Amino acid sequence: MADFDAIVIGSGMSGGWSAKELAERGLKVLVLERGKEIDPARDYKDLAAPWERPNLDRVPEEEIEKHYYQQIKGVPHPRNAAGNQYWVRDDEHPYEKAEGTDFHWLRGYHTGGRSVTWGRQSYRLSPMDFEANAKDGHGVDWPVRYEDIAPWYDHVEKFAGISGAKENLPQLPDGIFQPPFELTCPEKHLKSSVADKFPGRNVINARVAHLTDPTEEQMELGRGPCQVRNQCAQGCSFKAYFSSLHATLPAAMNTNNCTIKNDAIVESLEYDPKEKRISAVNVIDQNTKQKSRYTAKVIFLNASTIGSTMIMLQSQSEAFPNGLANSSGQLGLNLMDHVSGPPISGVLHDFENKTVYGRRPGGIYIPRYANVTENDKPYIRGFGFQGGSNPLSHGFMNGAGIGESFKEGHKAQSAWHIGLYSFGEVLPNASNKMYLHPTKKDKWGLPIAVFDAKMGENERIMMEEARKDGIAMLEAAGCTSISAPEVELTPMGNRIHEMGTARMGRDPKTSVLNGWCQAHDIPNLFVTDGSFMTSAGCQNPSLTYMAFSARAANYAADLIQAGQL
């Protein structure tokens, strides 16, 4: 008899949803999290202001060079000391890059994973995104369409809480929203200017997973409205932004059907060739290195795109010598991310008498228009812009400072800064891949990952055009002092949206998973993190992971209750 009905590997964005849905269906669920336990009441540091913390809450440069040498420089990961506990140290968790590859792998090993640190931008994929591969021949056809996923987008949005406004744009479907964060006066001016000059482009409110009008269900979980404090990187004691730690895991635990085990590194999944199913999960305690074994009727891999694929590659057997459920040979291939160019910014006058209250978690979003309302582009697919505005008098725009003069200067009337940042779609490409190093292992004796992936010509051309478009929109708004550095593409992994290494598809010969995120080769194995993505779209992907996870978990529960798993 199995120890549990279901084992969920990973407690982050997708793992939390898998656990919640399975537990609420009455199944006994074990969640295995490889990292430490995080307790918001004990571990969140967001109630102390930066100037109340050592070194103004900055991570010393020597610590960054020692521990985070492969990660992003110049952004708040891991330069914010209070939030530093949520990012993995490169020297303790190494990885390799193939020659010619620059890959950034940012990870969070703790309860909630990167759902504690994500940017919270929440957008649906559209019908055109699910049809793109079939139409232009890049990648394989998605085995689902938007209509299959739309009810599950509804389902997760209601529970998670997404602030936004309905826009009736076919390339960016509307969802179930709580009230949006208001645009600033300069952003409203940009919106009208862009609409006048470029009728097919839309400046809209950013859609972010922050509560603005909490439902009774959300408040019963201890969640409250966003306080507009911009301390999100340290956690949120108000639980206003969505994370598995704030929402799905507590909901799963409330059923009394869920057990969470921390410090549990999954070594491998055992495959029973007679029964053609996963028979057990082998685990290493990260502190003691003691090994244990758990059994269940169904396994959900939610260890993140790279983590889940590594577990499958580590789980070799006579039946699957090249990795679990890998009869297609696609496991580890088609690695995707999003691509950005440099930020584009300008200065806007005539709003010197305006200011802002609070620090919103999101500003503006310009949905994709390329190859939607504007065609004849020198590239396929497209990109969106995220951005926002602030008075130049705000201290972080004016350089260093502290004390009375700093605060008074912060209040002074000034022109406004407007910034735009592009996020483009990366095409699926079997040449972009990750695999296990043949000899190098981590301190638990497991192979380390090797990345061999780079941006392509379509991505380069797209970001060159995005730069031109961004300049043109700021000029249309009357901006001066426009800054738009020459394009240097972000490396793979830099956007922290790894996807695609166990893609779903219609044909078991060319894909790892079917349309339910269920392995073609192994009926009781589901993979519902970013691994399943067949193409990337240009929208932030986390909302899609949530919807597919909830859908797959309910499908698996149906199969179990029908006696088919």
Answer yes or no: do 328 and 377 share one domain: no
Answer yes or no: do 246 and 359 share one domain: no
Alpha-carbon distances, residue 64 vs 54, 68, 360, 443 (angstroms): 16, 5, 28, 21
Asked if residue 69 is part of any domain, the answer here is no
Asked if residue 111 is part of any domain, the answer here is yes
Phi and psi at 403, nearest 5°, equal 95, -165
151: CB partners within 8 A, 6+ apart: none
Per-residue pLDDT reduced to its tens digit, 524-555: 999 999 999 999 999 999 999 999 999 999 99
pLDDT band at 397 (very low <50, low <70, confident <90, very high): very low
Cα dihedral sign for 356, 357, 362, 366? Answer: negative
Answer yes or no: do 478 and 360 share one domain: yes
Residues spanned by the domain of 373: 166-206+338-425+456-489
Asked if residue 51 is part of any domain, the answer here is no
The rounded distance, in Å, linking the Cα atoms of 415 and 334 is 45
- Residue 396 pLDDT greater than 70, yes or no: no
Number of structural domains found in the chain? 2
Answer yes or no: do 243 and 298 share one domain: yes
Answer yes or no: do 270 and 122 share one domain: yes
Cα dihedral sign for 286, 306, 28, 16? Answer: positive
- What is the residue whose two structure tokens read 């509307």? 174
Instruction: Tell me the average pLDDT across 219-239.
Output: 93
Asked if residue 89 is part of any domain, the answer here is no
Q: Are strands 4-9 and 29-32 parallel, antiparallel or unpaired?
A: parallel
287 class by beta-carbon count within 10 Å (0-12 exposed, 13-18 middle, 19+ buried): exposed
Among 528, 526, 557, CA closest to 545: 528
> Whole-model pTM?
0.96
Counts for the chain of helices (H) and strands (E), in that order: 13, 18
The rounded distance, in Å, linking the Cα atoms of 226 and 358 is 10
Query: What proportion of the chain, given as a percentage, has pLDDT over 90?
Result: 83
Asked if residue 100 is part of any domain, the answer here is no
113: CB partners within 8 A, 6+ apart: 10, 11, 12, 13, 15, 33, 35, 244, 304
- The C-alpha angle with vertex 247 and arms to 387 and 130, in degrees rounded to 5, equals 55
296 dihedral zone (left: phi>0; alpha: psi -120 to 50; beta): beta
The secondary element (H helix, E strand) that includes residue 253 is helix 249-254
Answer yes or no: do 277 and 232 share one domain: yes
- Residue 316 pLDDT greater than 70, yes or no: yes
Asked if residue 521 is part of any domain, the answer here is yes
Per-residue pLDDT reduced to its tens digit, 411-467: 778 899 999 999 999 999 999 999 999 999 999 999 999 999 999 999 999 999 999
